[in-house]
Amino acid sequence: MTSSSLIDQQVEAAALKVGVRDRLSALPDSLILEILSLLETRYAVRTTFLSKRWRDLWTTVPRLKFVHENPHFIYRVLVRWRGAKIVGFYLQLSYEEFCFSDVDSWLLFTVEKQVEELHIIVLSFDRTPYYCPPQRLYSCSSITELHLGCYCSLEIGGSVQWNRLKSLCIKVPNSSCDDAVNKLLLGAPCLEEMTLSVIVKSDENFSIRSISLKKLKIDGPVDVKAILSIWAPNLLTLVIGEYVVAGGGCLFYVPSLTKAFLTYKSDYPTNQVSYQTLRSIFRPLHDDLEVYYQILRSICHVKEVTFRNCHIESLLDMKKKYMVLQFPNVEFLMQEWDMSVYCLLDLLGLLEMFPQLKTFVFRLDKALHNLKPIFRKATTFPRAFLFHLNTVEITWFAEDPSIFESIEYLLRKAPFLHKMVLHLVYYRDNHELFLMAEEKVRSLPRCSPTVELIIIEHVALKP
């Protein structure tokens, strides 16, 4: 029996017992509190006007959520709150709306109430000033999920006692964060997921060591002139941003890794900031192909991998320089692209690096749909057979002449291809172009007689 059907039965039984048809009024207090905990606290407080029964229900709601609230309102809510334990506390404010001393007070209140899930997000247009969490936070053993969505200065005076912590998301701006980060990891023996946003410019090594970690996301920029190392023997998923630089090289020990995401999505609109401008903001990892090659060799045993933008460009550069590398176990490959600076056929030429590939997905960022693409001729023609390829999904422009060569290559070189989904993008006033492209694609010869060819149209605005 599902939980929803069980709740329905409880509601019906309660309604019959009290002789009412109002299903909401028939709910037990425990279920009403669960419903109120899904709302922002401002809306939960308003239920006090519904009836005498509801007057004080919100004061014991297990989860409190404040989104751009007046600090005085937050203080009034916490003064009236009389629950035994805070399961979740979610705070989102812009820096102009409060002082960090207020955050300290609210945070210490939640710690005293044995908070389990703590999310503090501070929106600001710059990265200063940095928030220094109170020392009491580091000894809060009840926390299972901690998200500090603001740049934090980690000044840890004593030991960290996060014995139940499972998920951690933190932003660290200072260059001396290596010891602090590993002190956090040492005090969180059950930590499984970690997102680390760092701005590091250091002459020293930067390392991450954890035996319990299963998912790690490094969201740069990270710029160390020494060695970047990750020691996580039980890590299953790794996400690396584009702007990660290690002048002394990279040392990754991740033998259990199965999924890798080498991806970076800029916060800047593609139609407002050029690719060259983005590259000039930070020194991207792929500028040093030797370091990038070290990273790929450390993770080449994965089964699923995703590349985006400059990571794809790095693979193309490695191929031009005959830096041979293969991913012998990869069965699922995704490429995500938001820059039309290469021919699709060149991008498909990278598939020879994945001899066991079964599923290939190529996605074009929707922001490019409304831009005038720059079509280029292929520099090389891929010739490798794709004997294990089973499923393909590609998004590309209908007016690009190379689309036909690319699809023909896949249909000819994949003898056991079962399904191909092709998303063709065209401009609103050019539907005939899509129909011509669809007809030509369907007439292409294919090696697999059972392949299912699905063509989906996507209409874009005129650039």
The DSSP line for 140-183 is -TT-SEEEEEEEB-----S----TT--EEEEEE-STTHHHHHHH
Q: Ranked by mean pLDDT, which of 49-58, 198-207, 241-250 comes out on top? A: 49-58
- Worst-scoring range by mean pLDDT, 242-246, 255-259, 349-353? 242-246
367 confidence band (pLDDT: 50, 70, 90): low
The answer, yes or no, to whether residue 279 has pLDDT greater than 50, is no
Q: Which amino acid is at 200?
A: V
278 confidence band (pLDDT: 50, 70, 90): very low
In the prediction, which pLDDT does 155 show? 84
**Among residues 142, 166, 162, 138, which one has the least CA distance to residue 152?**
138
pLDDT, tens only, 202-234? 666 778 899 999 999 987 666 656 677 899 999
In the prediction, which pLDDT does 305 show? 95
The answer, yes or no, to whether residue 108 has pLDDT greater than 80, is yes
What is the pTM assigned to this prediction?
A: 0.82
In the prediction, which pLDDT does 421 show? 96
Task: Give the mean model confidence (pLDDT) for residues 139-159.
Answer: 89
Contact between residue 161 and residue 141 where contact means Cβ atoms under 8 Å apart: yes
Task: Give the mean model confidence (pLDDT) for residues 66-76.
Answer: 91
In the prediction, which pLDDT does 374 show? 60
**Among residues 370, 361, 378, which one has the least CA distance to residue 422?**
361
